[in-house]
Amino acid sequence: MPLVQNRVTKIRQHDERFYLDILSETESGSWVLTLPPILSAHQTELEQLLGKVFSGRPSSKENFALAQQMSMNWCFSKCKQFGKVFEECWSEAV
């Protein structure tokens, strides 16, 4: 079982780092997207989605966390559209 446990641990660490890197916030409160190369050509689509949902909403930790989750879900979906699993998209970004 150590092999399985090592893989699960690596995936958890891997996903967490990527999750935090997809959408970050500057000191001034601006949101910054960082997508893997395979998805960067479609960044405008994600920006529009986030803009539609969060435009006019107050800046808060909760809204930022929700935006991070939405961004990660969008990445999972896009990777799937390209016939890749999330880990493959991530490995291309490293």
- pLDDT of the residue at 5: 40
Q: Residue 35: exposed, middle, or buried by beta-carbon count in 10 A (0-12, 13-18, 19+)?
A: buried
Model confidence at 7, in pLDDT bands (50, 70, 90)? Answer: very low
pLDDT of 15 > 80? The answer is no
Closest CA to 86 of 14, 6, 8: 14
- pLDDT of the residue at 87: 77
- pLDDT of the residue at 92: 63
Provide the residue ranges of all domains of the chain, joining segments of one domain with +.
2-93
- For the record, the structure tokens of 76 come out as 């999972």
